[in-house]
Amino acid sequence: MINSQHQRQMTTSTKPQEPILHHQTDLIYGLHDKPQLREALFAALQHLLAIFVAIITPPLIISNALSFDLHTTGFLVSMSLFVSGVATFIQCHRIGPIGTGLLCIQGTSFSFIGPIIGAGMLGMIGGKIDTELALAYIFTACMFASVVEMFVSRILKYTQKIITPLVSGIVVTLIGMSLIKAGINACGGGAAAEANGTFGSLMNLGLAALVLFAIIFFNRSSNKILRMSSIVLGLAIGCVVAYFLDMIPLDATQDYGGFNIPIPFKYGFRFDISAIISLGLVYLITAIEAYGDITANSLISGEPIQGRTFEKRAAGGILADGFNSMVAAIFNSFPNSIFAQNNGMIQLTGIASRYVGYYIAGALILLGLFPAVGIVFSLIPAPVLGGATLLMFGTVAAAGIKIIAATKINRKAVLVMAISFSLGLSVEMVPDILNQMPETIRNIFSSGITTGGLAAILTNSLIHIKD
């Protein structure tokens, strides 16, 4: 844990004249220490509990929104686990210039869900989503757009002048607000409930509410284990109740055996410039968020947060963020980002050793290779998932508001927020407003995240007011 009164110490680097900022810590194991096997496994298990649900939830939400079948959903969940393991290893080990070399965990990102669903809708044929076509559009766009984040890693100091905390806060808030729509849709029962006429039934809404209140109950606990496991426990309670309500079709699949073999480009290629632009903007914001997460991780780990060592580490981490998302698209998974919640886990365990990351990566890769893991979690009913994600998405929006609140709210900031939120939420609430636009324009600006995010960047750069 970090001493609240940070002390600045001048240390010697390869260039004696370069000052580097370090911090005193109460760590049991530092970055380069090798914990005993038992302690390493225990720390890795706690990290897994903190990230597991967050990794599998985005593919579940996307699959639910695009009405993918059970086997496709299970495969996407498995690939998300597999790629998160690969990405975590790259971040922790650092391969050449790629990676932080910190205990830095990566997983499937919530930030991309809205644009991904939009890209998947391009696979609509005759009023029905063609699964392979939708996924071809999604993964092609994710792969090409990832270049944005890799490019940002090379010009990091310049992008920070454009993507200010105000802009980041607006975009993060819009991500949360836009995703709430997907969360509440799942609470009502999702696409399956809409098809059979049970959408918004008392049973669906009651089950979602049960999960929501269970998570809140455990999250308020003073017991750290219960608090960290609140989402897992809430989902477990929801699934048990759903089973007795005959809402979990255990007979829907009989194939739980074998191995998932990661197949590059399984769904082929489908190029759409509007989908790439929409996702590219989110990659831009993700790069700046990753910088903050890497700074926090370095601070907690007692490593430099200034100087060339840190700059190299931050650039490598953001480069890995984009590179790992490209790898994810190649292996049929969704974009990855650094998980901030694991920084708190380092504080709780007192273990910052990057070697723990190897155990986490290995566990995620193994879990992703077994189809049973993906299939079991794809059986989670939409209302159960909705009850959990509704709270998660609200938390994302609240995090964005917190970022905004930490900035100076002057006349310019008010104008930037007013324009960005108005335009972003308008296309989410009244999507038909774009019906008369050319198809490319309609596809680009149909996402409130893209519309509001671009508005935030432009207005923040162009509006100048002397207070």
Per-residue pLDDT, 255 = 60
Residue 87 belongs to a domain? yes
- Cα 31–chain centre separation: 25
Per-residue pLDDT, 120 = 93
Per-residue pLDDT, 317 = 94
DSSP-based three-state secondary structure for 66: coil
Contact 82, 364 (CB under 8 A): yes
Range of the domain at 80: 37-247+274-462
Residue 252 belongs to a domain? no
Nearest alpha-carbon partner for 60 in 329, 373, 399: 373
Residue with tokens 């923040």: 460
At residue 247, what is the residue type?
A: M
Residue 32 belongs to a domain? no
Q: With left for phi above 0 and alpha for psi between -120 and 50, is residue 215 left, alpha or beta?
A: alpha
CA atoms of 122 and 91, how far apart (whole Å): 33
Residue 442 belongs to a domain? yes
Nearest alpha-carbon partner for 334 in 48, 120, 58: 58
Number of domain units in the chain: 1
346: its two tokens? 């380092």
**H/E stretch holding 186:** helix 165-187
CA atoms of 195 and 184, how far apart (whole Å): 16
Q: With left for phi above 0 and alpha for psi between -120 and 50, is residue 33 left, alpha or beta?
A: beta
Per-residue pLDDT, 418 = 96
Contact 452, 423 (CB under 8 A): yes
Radius of gyration of the chain (CA): 22
* 465 φ, ψ (degrees, to nearest 5): -130, 130
Residue 267 belongs to a domain? no
Q: Is the pTM of this model over 0.85?
A: no
56: its two tokens? 């599998």
- pLDDT (tens, 9 = 90+) of the chain, 467 residues, equals 333 333 333 333 333 444 444 454 567 788 888 888 888 888 888 788 778 878 888 998 899 889 898 889 989 999 999 999 999 999 999 999 999 999 999 999 888 988 899 899 999 888 889 999 999 999 999 999 999 999 999 888 777 777 788 887 888 788 788 878 878 888 998 877 887 888 989 999 999 999 999 989 988 888 877 776 787 788 889 999 999 998 887 765 556 667 788 899 999 999 999 899 889 988 988 887 788 788 878 888 888 877 788 889 989 999 999 999 999 999 999 999 988 767 767 776 778 889 999 999 999 999 898 888 877 777 888 899 888 878 877 877 887 888 888 888 999 999 999 999 999 999 888 988 988 888 778 777 887 888 888 899 899 989 888 76
Those residues whose C-beta lies under 8 Å from the C-beta of residue 319, and which sit 6 or more positions away, are 97, 98, 99, 149, 150, 153, 154
Q: With left for phi above 0 and alpha for psi between -120 and 50, is residue 99 left, alpha or beta?
A: left
Residue 30 belongs to a domain? no
Residue 319 belongs to a domain? yes
Residue with tokens 């989503």: 129
Residue 434 belongs to a domain? yes
CA atoms of 164 and 420, how far apart (whole Å): 14
